[in-house]
């Protein structure tokens, strides 16, 4: 039995030294030290030894078991260290290499144009005002000189929430709210979403963005309105831009006008963008109607004012040569990445 134990020791140690990974070591452990292992079988056969031989054989068997266990543990540590070194060598990172850049989102073209417009008017002393998108009929229509049964209501195809409450069709209600809570001088722009029951096509949307402007003070005249909008047009479209005011009608202004700018693409010569007219319509405006001032709790005998309104999408389409309003809302990255 002594010779057999020595052979087991020698054989196990040789295999442990030749092992190359943790799986090999586990196989060796099971083969020699497992419940059905070689050494376990030897120990079970010790019953056939004489009482005098058993102590020495038992001690030798325990020594062999302990030696094999220690050898396996040491080999495990050595193999793990080698595996770690191999993994580190394989996973070496070159810190001098440039990192992978994460894609960064850009500013939406409508936001870009809105920021530009706001910057222009803020530079002229205007402030930004806001109001609710779900609006009372009074502020959306009646206070703006559009009483019930007025034909202008049919032109706006309004979304009614309930009787007397609508989704605002314009940002003009902000003007009334601002006049009610502020004393002249007033100089504001009011950008925001508005809603009209329009069929969706290349130039119409049931939701779009409008920017209203209002100035109220003593001695405000039509020339102030023309000067303000001419300055805006030159800063937005370029210093060579010219403006043209055409008579029009809006219930809440008198007199009223629509404003055209000389085509920035052809300089007024005529092209596809301006439909060969040399001019592009950009907004409506006028002097605030005295009745609107009264509803805003401002004395029209003492104060006068002007107002204007423009569509943000229209200005963005003109500025960037976009021919379909739906592109602004479809979230197509191929389109948005151009801005």
**If phi over 0 gives left and psi between -120 and 50 gives alpha, with beta otherwise, what is residue 321?**
left
Residues 291 and 175 occupy one common structural domain = yes
Parent domain of 288: 109-336
Residues 6 and 121 occupy one common structural domain = no
What pLDDT was estimated at residue 60?
74
**205, HSE (Cβ side, Cα atoms, 13 Å):** 19
Predicted TM-score (pTM) of the model is: 0.68
What pLDDT was estimated at residue 254?
94
Inside any domain, residue 103 = no
Residues 84 and 116 occupy one common structural domain = no
Strand pairing report for 186-195 and 165-167: unpaired
What pLDDT was estimated at residue 49?
63
- State which residues of the chain have pLDDT below 50: none
SS (H, E, C) 46-92: HHHCCCCCHHHHHHHHHHHHHHHHHHHHHHHHHHHHHHHHHHHHHCC
Residues 137 and 280 occupy one common structural domain = yes
What pLDDT was estimated at residue 292?
95
What pLDDT was estimated at residue 218?
96
Phi (first) and psi of residue 148, to 5 degrees: -60, 145
| Neighbour-count burial of 285, counting CB atoms closer than 10 A to its CB (0-12 exposed, 13-18 middle, 19+ buried) | buried
Distance CA 126, CA 122 (A): 5
What pLDDT was estimated at residue 50?
67
Contact 146, 152 (CB under 8 A): yes
Residues 273 and 212 occupy one common structural domain = yes
Residues 28 and 171 occupy one common structural domain = no
Inside any domain, residue 46 = yes
Give the CATH number, domain containing residue 205.
3.30.930.10
What pLDDT was estimated at residue 44?
66
Encoded tokens for 4: 């057999």
Q: What's the total number of domains in the chain?
A: 2
Residues 258 and 162 occupy one common structural domain = yes
Distance CA 35, CA 204 (A): 83
Last residue of a domain, one of 55, 90, 125: 90
Residues 75 and 113 occupy one common structural domain = no
């Amino acid at each position: 039995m002594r010779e057999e134990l020595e052979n087991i020791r020698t054989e196990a140690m040789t295999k442990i030294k030749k092992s190359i990974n943790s799986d090999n070591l586990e196989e060796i452990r099971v083969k020699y030290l497992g419940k059905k292992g070689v050494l376990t079988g030897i120990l079970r056969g010790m019953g056939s030894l004489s009482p005098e031989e058993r102590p020495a054989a038992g001690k030798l068997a325990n020594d062999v078991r302990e030696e094999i266990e220690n050898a396996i543990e040491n080999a495990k540590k050595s193999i793990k260290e080698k595996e770690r070194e191999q993994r580190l060598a394989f996973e070496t990172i070159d810190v001098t290499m440039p990192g992978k850049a994460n894609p960064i989102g850009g500013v939406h073209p409508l936001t870009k144009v809105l920021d530009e417009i706001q910057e222009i008017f803020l530079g002229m002393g205007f402030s930004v005002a806001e109001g609710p998108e779900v609006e009372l009929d009074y502020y959306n229509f009646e206070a703006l000189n559009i009483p019930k049964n007025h034909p202008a209501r049919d032109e706006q195809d309004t979304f009614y929430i309930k009787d007397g409450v609508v989704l605002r069709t314009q940002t003009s209600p902000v003007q009334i709210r601002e006049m009610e809570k502020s004393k002249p001088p007033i100089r504001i722009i009011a950008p925001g979403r508005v809603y009209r029951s329009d069929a969706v096509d290349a130039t119409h949307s049931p939701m779009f963005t409008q920017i209203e402007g209002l100035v109220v003070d003593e001695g405000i005249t039509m020339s102030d309105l023309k000067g303000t909008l001419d300055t805006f047009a030159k800063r937005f479209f370029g210093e060579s831009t010219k403006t043209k005011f055409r008579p029009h009608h809006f219930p809440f202004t008198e007199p009223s006008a629509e404003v055209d700018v000389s085509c920035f693409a052809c300089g007024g010569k005529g092209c596809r963008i301006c439909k060969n007219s040399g001019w592009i319509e950009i907004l409506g405006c006028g002097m605030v109607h005295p009745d609107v001032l009264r509803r805003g709790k401002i004395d029209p005998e003492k104060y006068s004012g002007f107002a204007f309104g423009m569509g943000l999408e229209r200005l963005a389409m003109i500025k960037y040569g976009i021919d379909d309003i739906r592109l602004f809302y479809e979230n197509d990255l191929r389109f948005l990445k151009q801005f």
